[in-house]
Structure 1
Amino acid sequence: MPTVLNRYATPFITGLFLISLISGVALFFHWGSSWFRGMHEWLSLVLIVPFVLHIWKNWRAMMNYFKRAPMFLALAVSLVAALAFAIPAAMQPSGAVRGGPPQFAIAQAMFDAPLGTVAPVFGLTEQEALAKLGATTIGQSLTQIAEAQGSSAASLAQELMKPAE
């Protein structure tokens, strides 16, 4: 059985890496994101199995890399590159929009704006919106109202979209 696993580790790494490469490029350029997101996330996780088998199969050769500077240099540069993305993201205040599709940023801006500013988008006055949400404080945002009610701004926005009964 181990020889079968060893025989297929490198071919599976190649196939899964190509899928990860193509889907990652597509996601980066926002091409068919709905097609590629799940594929990229799940099959990149599956890639771990043949990667581990490949390292196991080539353990001695791998250890030889650690006897020379290029491996340490490559690992250090990779770590610095990862930290260049991770640190700014970690420094963002909680709830801040970190890029992504513009519609998410627009939705977040609406959730954070005073209800009187966004109520007309739903065809309501601020008083009508407050009544629909069961809120009383004028000038609050959907985010603030949701926090006070133990809800989410998105679910409150859905409430505002429901037709009057």
Structure 2
Amino acid sequence: MPSLLNRYATPLMTGLFLVSLLSGIALFFHWVPSVFHGMHEWLSMVLILPFALHLWKNWRPMTAYARHLPMALSLALSLVAAGLFAVSASQGEGRGGPPQMQLAQTVLAGTPDLAAPLFGRTGAELVEALQAAGFAGAEAGLSLRDIAAASGKTDADLAVALMALSS
């Protein structure tokens, strides 16, 4: 069995890496994300096993690489790049997801007076409708997100209530 795993570790890693590469490119350019998103996530997770087997099979050459500057430098640069993306995203400087999610976040950051025309209502009518829908914390001066939080509800609960108002 170990011989079989060793024989397939590198070919499996290569095949799954190519799938991850191509699906990642498709996601970057927003080409049919519904097709590529699950594929990219799941098959990238499956890639972990052949990667681990590949490392195991090639442990001696890997330790030889590790003794030289290019490996240490490459790993350090990779960690720095990942860290920069993580810090940027945690500070809200990232892309913010798909445009429709950015739009939803902008609407939820607005007050009832700002958002009300989107739902064919005045600010006061929107506050009343939200209160009737169970958002007891609805007040004109709060953002919609703060209204949801003050009412013990999530942004998703608020979005459902707002969509029900527009139908």
**Structure 2 matches for 1:23-34, cutoff 5 A?**
23-34=23-34
Aligned twin of 1:74: 74
Structure 2 residues without counterparts, runs of 5 or longer: none
Contact 1:112 1:143 in 2 (8 A): yes
1:107 aligns with 2:104: yes
Quick one: structure 1 residues 14 and 97, their matched pair in 2 at CA, closer, same or farther if it must change by over 3 Å? closer
Quick one: structure 1 residues 97 and 133, their matched pair in 2 at CA, closer, same or farther if it must change by over 3 Å? farther
Quick one: structure 1 residues 46 and 122, their matched pair in 2 at CA, closer, same or farther if it must change by over 3 Å? same
Aligned twin of 2:40: 40
Partner residue of 2:139 out of 116, 137, 141 = 137
Shift of 1:155: 2.0
Shift of 1:8: 0.7
Contact 1:10 1:54 in 2 (8 A): yes
Report the aligned-residue RMSD: 1.9
Residues 87-113 of structure 1: per-residue CA shift (max 9 Å, x gap): 222334xxx874221111111111111
Aligned twin of 1:146: 148
**Which residue identity lines up with residue 115 of structure 1 in the other structure?**
P
Give the share of equivalent positions with the same residue, in percent. Answer: 55
Contact 2:110 2:143 in 1 (8 A): yes
Quick one: structure 1 residues 131 and 103, their matched pair in 2 at CA, closer, same or farther if it must change by over 3 Å? same
Question: TM-score, normalised on structure 1?
Answer: 0.89
Question: Once structures 1 and 2 are overlaid, which stretch shifts more, 128-137 or 49-58?
Answer: 128-137
Aligned twin of 2:57: 57
Aligned twin of 2:117: 120
**Which residue identity lines up with residue 161 of structure 2 in the other structure?**
E
Question: TM-score, normalised on structure 2?
Answer: 0.88
Contact 1:97 1:105 in 2 (8 A): no
Distance 1:86 1:17 in 2: 23
1:6 aligns with 2:3: no
